[in-house]
A and B are shown apart, each in its own frame.
Chain A
Amino acid sequence: MSVGVITSLSSARAQEALEIVPEEPEQTEALPLEFHGFVSQGFLKSTGNNYLAQSKRGSWEFAEVGINFTKTLSDRLRAGIQLFARDVGDIGNYDARVDWFYLDYRFADWLGLRAGRTKLPFGLYNEVSDIDSARVPVLMPQSIYSLRSRDYLLAQTGAELYGLVSLGGLGALEYRIYGGTMFADIANTSSTLRIERLDIPYLNGARLMWEAPLPGLRLGASLQTLELDYQFSGAAVANNPGAPMGIASAEISAWLWVASAEYAGDRMLLAAEFSRWYIDLDTTVPTVFPPSNTTSERYYVMAAYRATPRFTPGAYYSVYFRDIGLFSDPNKSCDRLGFRGCGRQNFQHDLAFTLRFDINPYWLVKLEGHYMRGTGDVTSALNDRRPLVQLEKNWALFIAKTTVHF
């Protein structure tokens, strides 16, 4: 057989190999089960105040682990679940829980439905605030993405409508509308007050993001409202007329909104968000817990640059102010500019620098430093129960963290 014939036959067979397909192409496919996971371990060290854990003496209580499974059942239907456990100071203690689970049906690009326990689309990064591999900083700006409030702000059990509406040359609009509730663990840390019950009758919200024609630029806003109904007992409310049979009630209504802007280029990330949270507290024991109406203000600006495929530095400046009503309180000399006279317990500035090293596609290491001014986001429980006004006003936090993900 000549070389020419052999070559010709080989080419023919190669051609046949490309065309050995079923007579009718398949419409659906049983895609394999996908699973992904991550393990993170960090170390905290602070000066002045304990933050998140007993960090003044150095703490390894900063770990997270998660694993998820996703099954694409058809071109439009998908189901998934993620298990998660963490230990951050007194939070979590490695109690494994279902982080999210859902059934997701995509009718069209502009309309999809998710049902189950889904992460809340609040702001740019709420959904990824505890996914170390998905962000540059170790700690996302705590003014908006508080690690300690994760149980309340990260996910809801209910349903969500979502979609992407193309605007042609004007980009696209992504919307998400959700409603449901959440189930939060009760943490009793007071010796005089015990939370007997916590109900969250509703948690609703929406997010609208405009994906601009400039690739990587998006602008948007999020809104969320929820109610928390507490029943509590203890020496603090015993014999109070508002606590029949020793049980008092409190209702917290909250409205949260955030305006967001992000430019995510190939190497450069720029982001800024501004948020206000309106919290109304009403109780049956006003002498113990006076009703209140507070509006907190939270904002940050952030930048990161992927200098090389393995090295990404970043920085952000974050501000939390507990109650903007202080600015207009005639009994206080609280100045919005620099928060002079506002009391260190009412605000917290956070200037952070991060170095992210991607050792390989599955392993990364981060080093981060924070310069803090104010104690508004510090907890008394971690600082010998001293009032926040007595804690160090200027302090620092250093974090080292490594994550393996797949």
Chain B
Amino acid sequence: MALLLLALGLSRGRFPAAARAQPVPAPAPVFLIVVHGDHPEESIDGRFLGRVFLKKSTTWPDGSPVRPVDQRMDSRVRQRFSEQVLQRSVIAVRNYWQQLIFTGRAVPPPELDSDEAVIRYVLRYRGAVGYVSGTANVGSAKVLKIR
């Protein structure tokens, strides 16, 4: 009996449950792509997302207008978004917009000051898409996965 109890104790581990190794939580994403809560899709193509923020694509796949919104150039989340999605630095993107602004071909997306402002924006304008830091409280906005 004692041996049985000992075997059971060993099979369940030597240490109390509270002291067992805890699974390492996944790190928070650097940024989240947010859209209106009614947005029909659950994910977004990364290349399409890049074209949207450079205003090379102006409509969602269903033909409705897409409205990108940026954060300030000096924000950390914008820098990370620019490097990962646009695959260029904020400075390079600024130079890109210089060309379009002074040739009249386009104007850059509006720049907002905070994650909260971006979320308010996407909730206000159907078709809008923005990015917020990975720990932001997105409220009723929907988060899209980048595929």
Query: A residues bordering B, Cβ < 8 Å?
Result: 14-15, 17-22, 25-27, 29, 31, 34, 36, 38, 66, 68, 70, 72, 75-76, 78, 80, 82, 100, 102, 104, 106, 108-109, 118-119, 127-128, 131, 133-134, 164, 166, 172, 215-216, 264-267, 306, 309, 361, 405
Contacts and interface: CB of A to CB of B under 8 A. Distances in A.
Interface size, B (range) = 35 or more
B104 A70 contact: yes
Given A34-B107, A76-B65, A118-B104, A15 B137 contact: yes
Interface stretch (B3-11, B18-26, B86-94): B86-94
A156 to B, nearest CB: 13
A18 B101 contact: no
A403 to B, nearest CB: 11
A19 B139 contact: yes
Query: Which DSSP category, helix, strand, loop or mixed, fits chain B's interface?
Result: loop
29 contacts: A14-B137, A15-B139, A18-B120, A19-B123, A19-B139, A19-B140, A25-B123, A26-B126, A27-B127, A66-B102, A68-B102, A76-B58, A80-B104, A100-B103, A106-B58, A108-B59, A108-B63, A128-B102, A128-B103, A131-B98, A164-B51, A164-B57, A172-B51, A215-B88, A266-B87, A266-B89, A306-B91, A306-B92, A405-B98
Interface of B: 36, 38, 51, 56-59, 63, 65, 67, 73, 87-89, 91-92, 94-95, 98-99, 101-105, 107, 110, 116, 119-120, 123-127, 137-141
B98 A133 contact: yes
B124 A134 contact: no
B99 A134 contact: yes
A25 B124 contact: yes
Contacts, number: 113
A271 to B, nearest CB: 13
A68 B101 contact: yes
A309 B91 contact: yes
A306 B57 CA distance: 27
A75 B126 contact: no
Contacts of A78: 107
A25 B36 contact: yes
B103 A131 contact: yes
Contact of A72 (B73, B99, B107, B139): B107
A320 to B, nearest CB: 24
Given A68-B102, A134-B95, A17 B59 contact: no
A119 B104 contact: yes
Given A18-B116, A309-B91, A109 B57 contact: yes
B139 A18 contact: yes
Given A18-B141, A127-B103, 6 more contacts: A19-B139, A68-B101, A70-B107, A100-B103, A267-B89, A405-B98
A109 B106 CA distance: 13
A22 B59 contact: no
- From A66, A109, A215, residue with most partner B Cβ within 10 Å: A109
B73 A18 contact: no
Contact of A27 (B59, B73, B126, B140): B126
A21 B125 CA distance: 10
A189 to B, nearest CB: 30
A75 B107 CA distance: 12
A127 B105 CA distance: 10
A109 B104 contact: no
B104 A68 contact: yes
Contacts of B119: 18
Nearest to A168: B47
A333 B91 CA distance: 50
Given A25-B123, A25-B125, A266-B88, A134 B140 contact: no
Contacts of B138: 18
B140 A102 contact: no
A41 to B, nearest CB: 17
Contacts of B89: 266-267
B139 to A, nearest CB: 3
A78 B100 CA distance: 13
A372 B11 CA distance: 85
A216 B50 CA distance: 12
A27 B65 CA distance: 9
A361 B73 contact: yes
A19 to B, nearest CB: 5
Contacts of B127: 27, 75
A36 B65 contact: no
A10 to B, nearest CB: 12
Contacts of A36: 101-102
A19 B37 CA distance: 11
Nearest to A126: B103
Nearest to A133: B98
Contacts of A309: 91
Interface centre among B51, B91, B103, B137 (most CB of A within 10 A): B103
Nearest to A213: B47
Nearest to B50: A215
Given A19-B140, A75-B67, A266-B88, A82 B104 contact: yes
